[in-house]
Amino acid sequence: MPTRSTIMDTNSYRGDGSAALPEADRQLIERREQLLGPAYRLFYQKPVHLVRGEGAYVWDAHGTQYLDVYNNVVSIGHCHPAVVEAVERQMRTLNTHTRYLHEGIVGYADRLLATMPAELDQVMFMCTGSEANDLAVRVAQVATGAQGVIVTREAYHGTSALTSGLSPALGSGQPLADFVRLVEAPDTYRGRDGAAFASDIKAAIEDLKSSGLGFAAFLADSIFSSDGVLPGEQGMLREAVDEVRRQGGMFIADEVQPGFSRTGEAFWGFARHGLVPDLVTLGKPMGNGFPVSGMAARADVLAPFATTLPYFNTFGGNPVAMAAGQAVLDVIQQEGLLQHSLRVGRILLAELQKLGDKHENVGDVRGAGLFIGFELVSDPEAKTPDKQLALKAVEALRERRVLTSVAGPHGNVLKLRPPLAFGEHDIDWLVTALDEALDAVLDKRPAGSR
């Protein structure tokens, strides 16, 4: 039987508590399962029926307000008026593909590349992060003439045929591509530093070369979100990327999750480590949830692919998507969201670390900006992952109107990754709810509500 997917199944609805659901919600679940099929998943044992969002908050069909501490797709906040207005305005004017001239795509490309190192001087647009990673790997393989790709052991990079084979987090039901090698993510909590990571990268490269596949690329999300939110210290990845370059490979930075000011310390996750990637992939946070993605590249890396094979993505880079992207960049600049993420993230991290001092089952609290991993363990000395405690905590948080989920190979890390609209005034709600949730699931006092 296939291993359950850590990102899809760990916190998924199983139907055990369906009798406790409102009748309307139960009927909606039944219709969903009948019409959409069995591949989809819902969060929580009591799924949340959302109908509205604003900033860092969402409301369900019964009028209950929740604090969203999970959704990075709406990067600058649910239904941000600047994005809504930009999309509506452009939709009323023109929306078509990229084989016609349009100022929108050129203007946005110029602004986007201005946020990156000068070496990254060309960009192509798609609709999803999966497409961006798919294209980046193909570009790297053509540029190097090799096939081999290295990813971390619990990575998630997409759902296309190619990127599914690069995403071990999807579980053993999804076989890995034969040209992929896995390495353990750097985890300073368990003593795996940048040097150990670089050593593993080197060994994986040697294995790829000895197998006749050659080495094309190292593909990584620099905060290792699916591996358990492992930001590490700044510069931690430099030694590994230096090894990649020595061995003739490309570094592909998957910025779908750590990009666009999320980490606070830099606009891009790779920049925390002082790195200049060969290729950078972007996803729907660039449009605040509008289906748009991109791949930035060094012109010399892109040329072997682009001069051999024309690329066309029917609605990648369409005028409405570019309007959404422009609006997001405007908001990040005008609202100072990079500085906001750093400041509020540091305050939040400090408050959550206090909970770690209070509750012995909190093994580690780590993060960068508004991206924090809260790891729960059964044995603090042995650092034994406690998946069941984490799942109980997630359900207890849901009862206290805070929405999040879990990450990591053992599903024991709470992934705290709110929209950047999350403010200092929201910290008390989150921290108090988490404190109460831990007390409740550890049987320290009866479950309550905020």
Residues 67 and 114 placed together within one structural domain of the fold: no
- Which helix or strand (DSSP H or E) is residue 89 part of? helix 81-91
**Cβ burial 339-373 (10 Å sphere, 16+ → b, else e):** ebbbebbbebbebbbebbeebebbbbbbbbbbbbb
Structure tokens of 376?
A: 């729960």
155 domain residue, yes or no: yes
- The CATH number given to whatever domain includes residue 136 is 3.40.640.10
Residues 38 and 146 placed together within one structural domain of the fold: no
Given 315, 334, 353, which residue is the final one in a domain? 334
Question: 173 pLDDT band (50/70/90 cuts)?
Answer: confident
446 domain residue, yes or no: no
SS3 280: strand
What radius of gyration do the chain's Cα atoms show?
22
| 340 vs 356: CA distance, rounded Å | 24
SS3 105: helix
Residues 184 and 85 placed together within one structural domain of the fold: yes
Question: 4 pLDDT band (50/70/90 cuts)?
Answer: confident
| 129 vs 164: CA distance, rounded Å | 12
> Residue 7: its pLDDT value, please?
73
Average pLDDT over residues 260-284: 97
432 domain residue, yes or no: yes
Residues 60 and 186 placed together within one structural domain of the fold: no
Residues 298 and 284 placed together within one structural domain of the fold: yes
Query: How high is the mean pLDDT of the chain?
Result: 95
Answer yes or no: is pLDDT of 450 > 60. Answer: no
> Residue 2: its pLDDT value, please?
59
SS3 301: helix
> Residue 265: its pLDDT value, please?
96
> pLDDT for 395-420, tens place per residue?
999 999 999 999 999 999 999 999 99
Given 312, 334, 356, which residue is the final one in a domain? 334
Residues 256 and 186 placed together within one structural domain of the fold: yes
Lowest mean pLDDT among 1-10, 142-151, 246-255, 275-284: 1-10
> pLDDT for 81-98, tens place per residue?
999 999 999 999 999 999
Answer yes or no: is pLDDT of 290 > 50. Answer: yes
What pTM, to 2 d.p., does this model score?
0.95
> Residue 55: its pLDDT value, please?
98
Given 334, 355, 373, which residue is the final one in a domain? 334
Find the domain containing 385 and state its range. Answer: 18-76+336-441
Nearest residue to 141 (alpha-carbon basis) of 247, 252, 250, 216: 216
Residues 71 and 181 placed together within one structural domain of the fold: no
Paired with 183 in beta bridges are 152
- The CATH number given to whatever domain includes residue 360 is 3.90.1150.10
Residues 397 and 287 placed together within one structural domain of the fold: no
Average pLDDT over residues 349-372: 97
Structure tokens of 202?
A: 């080197």
> Residue 9: its pLDDT value, please?
82
2 domain residue, yes or no: no
> Residue 224: its pLDDT value, please?
98
> pLDDT for 223-239, tens place per residue?
999 999 999 999 999 99
400 domain residue, yes or no: yes
| 44 vs 404: CA distance, rounded Å | 10
Residues 242 and 142 placed together within one structural domain of the fold: yes
Answer yes or no: is pLDDT of 445 > 70. Answer: no
> pLDDT for 17-65, tens place per residue?
777 888 888 999 999 999 999 989 999 989 999 999 999 999 999 999 9
Residues 299 and 373 placed together within one structural domain of the fold: no
Answer yes or no: is pLDDT of 331 > 50. Answer: yes
Residues 340 and 288 placed together within one structural domain of the fold: no
11 domain residue, yes or no: no
447 domain residue, yes or no: no
Number of folded domains in the chain? 2
Structure tokens of 88?
A: 């509506």
162 domain residue, yes or no: yes
Residues 124 and 260 placed together within one structural domain of the fold: yes
> Residue 21: its pLDDT value, please?
85
